[in-house]
Amino acid sequence: MNFNFLDIRQFDFHELHFYTIFLRILLSLVVGGIIGLERGIKSKSAGFRTYMLVCLGSAMVMMTNQYIYDTFGSGDPTRMGAQVVSGIGFLGAGTILVTHRNQIRGLTTAAGLWVAACLGLAIGIGFYTGAVLGGITVLFILTLFEKVKILIEDRTRTIDCYIIFESATDFHNLLKHTAKQAWKIIEIESEHSDFDAPHHIYEITFQLNHNDQMDHFMEYLEKREGILFVKKIRQ
């Protein structure tokens, strides 16, 4: 088919030829790179290059699948794409970690890799509108919704704290003070200390009163005598 380079209306962007292949590769790099850049800024395990490669690889799989279908006139044009959707789970699983505090880290990164692969599949088959809108939505979720998540956590009256006490007496004194302040303790989990000194480490979930401010509560714990270290745990 002969195309006038200046007349873009003559192109069928759903067929495979040099221009559509170039467009899909470029678009997959842009979409994957934008998502990966946001993850990389936050120093996540999978960053800029990883997301670009995942999105590009998925697009290449779909283009290869389309090429086989168009060239040989047989086979399922979605078969290879289905393998990507299931296979990307192995890569995503490598970004999920369970810390020594039994916290799960990397779920958002793993989900982002899976979505990047899906966007790559959409680009590879020529579903440009869906891929672009989907990429914008993903970036919107990772940026704006992160602020919403933090806002919700700050407004809630439940707070999880990782606390290192100097002694068991200090731990019991905090429990007594908690009862006086009408704070509720939802859950307590003890941990073995890695220090030579007999420090006591606990993960405690507090429920504060409606009039209590989260920041003031954390400042109180940080200044309280007998507490060596305290950190708010974000789930």
- pLDDT at position 198 is 62
Question: Where does a domain end: 153, 188, 220?
Answer: 153
Whether the model pTM is above 0.75: no
Give me the number of domains the chain comprises: 2
pLDDT (mean) for 222-233: 87
Residues 52 and 99 in one domain: yes
Question: Do residues 24 and 129 both lie within one domain?
Answer: yes
Give the phi and the psi of residue 225 in degrees, each rounded to 5.
-70, 135
Rounded CA gap, 52 and 40, in Å? Answer: 12
pLDDT: which is higher, 148 or 28? 28
Q: Which two tokens stand for residue 222?
A: 């940080």
pLDDT tens for residues 61-109?
999 988 888 888 777 777 788 788 777 777 766 666 555 555 556 677 8
- Determine how many CB atoms are found less than 10 A away from the CB of residue 98: 10
Q: Which residues contact 112 (CB under 8 A, 6 or more apart)?
A: 35, 39, 46, 51, 138, 142
Q: pLDDT at position 133, please?
A: 93
* Range of lowest pLDDT (21-35, 194-208, 221-235): 194-208
Higher pLDDT, 137 or 149: 137
Backbone angles phi, psi at 165, to 5 degrees: -95, 150
Contact 181, 78 (CB under 8 A): no
Per-residue pLDDT at 3: 42
Which of 46, 24, 57, 49 is closest to 112 using CA atoms? 46
Domain end (from 103, 137, 153)? 153
- Assess whether 125 and 171 both reside in one domain: no
Residue at which a domain ends, from 95, 128, 153: 153
Q: What is the pLDDT of residue 108?
A: 78
Q: What is the pLDDT of residue 2?
A: 45
Query: Which pLDDT score, from 0 to 100, does residue 97 have?
Result: 56
144 plus 169 within the same structural domain: no
Tokens, residue 171: 């731990």
- The residue range of the domain holding 148 is 11-153
Residues 149 and 166 in one domain: no
User: If you write DSSP's letter for every residue of the chain in order, what string do you get?
Assistant: ----TT-GGG--TTS-SHHHHHHHHHHHHHHHHHHHHHHHHTT-SS-HHHHHHHHHHHHHHHHHHHHHHHHHS-S-TTHHHHHHHHHHHHHHHTT-EE-TTS-EE-HHHHHHHHHHHHHHHHHHHT-HHHHHHHHHHHHHHHHHHHHHHHHHHHHSSEEEEEEEESSHHHHHHHHHHHHHTT-EEEEEEEE---SSS--EEEEEEEE--TT--HHHHHHHHHHSTTEEEEEEEP-
Task: For residues 224 and 169, state if they share a domain.
Answer: yes
Gyration radius from the chain CA atoms: 26
Encode pLDDT of 149-205 as tens digits.
666 666 667 888 888 998 888 998 998 888 888 788 888 888 755 545 567 888 888
Model confidence over 98-124: pLDDT tens digits?
555 555 566 778 888 889 999 999 999
Confidence band for 9, pLDDT divided at 50, 70 and 90:
low
Q: Supply 174's token pair.
A: 């905090």
pLDDT at 43: 67
